Structure 1
Amino acid sequence: MRPVEEFQELRPLLFSIAYRILGSVSEAEDAVQETWLRYAATSTQPTSAKAFLSTTVSRISIDVLRSARVRREEYVGPWFPEPLLTDPYQDPERSAELADSVSMAALLLLERLSPLERAVFVLREVFGFGFREIAAAVERSEAACRQLAMQARRHMSAGRPRFEADRKERDELAGRFFDAFKEGELDALREFLAADVHLVGDGGGKTPQVAAQIIGAENVARVVAALVTAFVRIGGVVEPHEVNGQPGAIFRDRDGNVVNTMVLDILDGQIQMIRTVSNPDKLGHLGSVGDAWAVVREATETTDRPGPSAS
């Protein structure tokens, strides 16, 4: 098989490794592209293309993550991973496990790990690489990698939320929620929300935000109902879609431009967390990005505009 064919065959795996290490679609794509450039420039064919490419993309991702840590510490408001609609790495036997590993909740837990711990955890726990391969990828001894893996598992287990076991039940609940959501039905929305539900938005200081965080079923239901009613009134579309392996939605303006995404964490038959990403810098890979400020201004003006007077 020619190098370009080997690379294309392994590209889904490489992107999936890089995305889980970085939490960024754009940075993961850049890491995969840099991996190809280094592969194409090698003077001798590696014994194992998979080992060479996985090692290379992991090392690049670790370096990128180290520099990204500084930017994330200075980020305005909550930082969430870039929304991922489809994970290109497919393994039907492990589809549920892979989906959980790319969820917003799991990726945010990974943010607590050091770059090396994160890379070791992803390679070992998600993709099942042996410690010899991992040691080569992160340039540490096998013993050190085993220690890093143990530390990472401990950190992840301590903070990992329990996921809804029945995915079909979860998806059906999300479908009913979005039906009520699009209608702005306040009473119906409340029924789906846990008493201490959190609504948290990542706008990066670049889009309008009601608040960094809203807590409680009553508060969240009222804010959501008001916002979606105004949004739909001006031609906005709420498009239910799996996001990061979880029930979610894409928000588009009347011209089809993306202005927001939403992801639901569901547990015990109720929505525990709603995360939104509206930072335009994180939405470009989903298509053309709309002007969230213009959408909010129009929605506000429509809401404030008095209706026709009775005659």
Structure 2
Amino acid sequence: MSKVEDFEELRPLLFSIAYRILGSVSEAEDAVQETWLRFDGSATRPTSTKAYLSAAVTRISIDVLRSARVRRESYVGPWFPEPLLADPYEDPARSAELADSLSMAALLLLERLSPLERAVFVLREVFDFGFDDVAVAVGRSEAACRQLLVRARRHMAAGRPRFEADRQERQRLATRFLDALRNGDVGSLQSLLAADVQLVGDGGGKSPQLAKAVSGAENVARLLGTVFPWLVRIGVTFEPQEVNGQPGAIFRHRDGKILQVLVLDVLDGRIQTIRGVINPEKLDHLGPVADAWAADREVKQARREWG
């Protein structure tokens, strides 16, 4: 095969590695593009194209993550990964690991690791790379990589997310939740939420967002049942959508532009966490983004007129 064919065959894997290391669709796409430029510019063909490209995209992602962490320290409010609607890489033999590692809860846990720990964990635990290839990718000895993995596993195990195993049950619960949200049915909303549920939003200071997380089924249900019917009244629509392997929804302004993405963590028949991604910079890879500030003003105007 030609270089282009070799690269395109491996592109889904390269993106999936980069996304799990970076938590950003745009940065992962840039890392994959930089990997191609390095591959295209190399004078010789590697013995293993997969090993070469995986190592290249990992090194690039580690460098990007180090600089991104500095920016994230000054981020306004909670930081969430950019929502991903579909993972381009599939491996039936590791479908469970791939799905679990894609969730926002898992990606937020990965944020606790150092860039090297994160890269080693992703390559070894998620994609089952041998320690020889992991060592080459991160520029450390195999022994050092084993130690990095031990530390990474310890951090991840301490807060490993748990989700409803039955995918159909998750989707049914999400459908009931969205119906109750659309109708402003506070009682139904509360019945679907875990007692200690949390509602958290990521606006990055660029969109209206919660001042802090809202906790407790009654508080969250009351807030959702109050706010979202007004959004519906000004023409906002929302449709169910799997996001990062978990049930969620995309909210659109009446002009069709994306307003926010909601993601639900479901366990034991209840919604445990609701995450809203509202920062427009984290949504523009999904399509045109609405002006959330303008929508907020519309809601306030509607409440003055009809409230």
| TM-score tier after normalising by the smaller chain length | over 0.9
In structure 2, the partner of 1:194 is 194
The answer for the alignment partner of 2:4 in structure 1 is 4
Q: Partner of 1:82 in structure 2?
A: 82
Aligned to 1:155: 155
Secondary structure at the counterpart of residue 107 of structure 1: helix
Residue 95 (structure 1) shift: 2.8
Cα-Cα RMSD = 1.0
Quote the Cα distance in structure 1 between the aligned partners of 2:138 and 2:171: 38
- Aligned: 1:236 with 2:236: yes
CA deviation vs aligned residue, 1:203-252 (integer Å, no higher than 9, x gap): 00111123321111111111111221011111111111000100001111
**Stretches of structure 1 lacking an aligned partner (at least 5 in a row):** none
- Matched with 2:224 is 224
Residues 131-190 of structure 1, C-alpha deviations (whole Å, 9 max, x = no match): 000000000000000111111011100111322222221221112111211222111111
SS of the aligned residue for 1:95 comes to helix
Partner AA of 1:196 in structure 2 = D
Distance in 2 between the 1:2 and 1:302 partners? 59
Query: Deviations 1:260-286 (Å, cap 9, x if unpaired)?
Result: 111001111111110011001111100
Cα distance in structure 1, aligned partners of 2:200 and 2:226: 16
**Aligned pairs, number:** 307
User: Matches of 2:22 and 2:106 in 1, distance apart?
Assistant: 12
Task: Give the deviation of 1:115 after TM superposition.
Answer: 0.1
Q: One-letter code of the match for 1:301? A: Q
Whether contact under 8 Å (2:189, 2:221) holds in the other structure is yes
Q: Which residue of 2 aligns with 1:253?
A: 253
Structure 1 position 306, deviation (Å): 3.6
Match of 1:122 in 2: 122
Q: Any stretches of 5+ residues in structure 2 without a counterpart?
A: none
Residues 210 and 153 of structure 1: CA distance in aligned 2, closer, same or farther (over 3 Å)? closer
What is the TM-score of this pair, normalised by structure 1?
0.97
Structure 2 partner of 1:21 = 21
AA aligned opposite 2:129: F
Structure 1 residues 138 and 210: alpha-carbon distance in aligned structure 2, compared to 1, 3 A threshold:
closer
Output one character per residue of 1:48-101: Cα deviation in whole Å (capped at 9) or x when no partner. 110110000000000000001100011000000001111100123433331111
Q: Is the 8 A contact 2:200 2:210 kept in 1?
A: no
The DSSP-based 3-state class of the residue aligned with 2:249 is strand
Q: Does 1:63 align with 2:63?
A: yes
> What is the one-letter code of the residue matched to 2:140?
R
Question: What residue is the counterpart of 2:52 in the other structure?
Answer: 52
Q: Give distance in 1, aligned partners of 2:154 and 2:306.
A: 57
Partner of 1:171: 171
For 1:287, the equivalent position in structure 2 comes to 287
CA distance in 1, matches of 2:207, 2:253: 14
CA distance in structure 1 between the partners assigned to 2:95 and 2:137 by the alignment: 25
Amino acid at match of 1:154: R
SS at match of 1:286: coil
Match in the other structure for 2:203: 203
- Identity among equivalent pairs (%): 70
Cα distance in 2 for partners of 1:132, 1:146 equals 11
How far residue 296 of structure 1 moved from its aligned partner, in angstroms, is: 0.9
Q: Matched residue of 2:148: which SS? A: helix
Shift of 1:304: 1.8
In structure 1, the residue matched to 2:110 is: 110
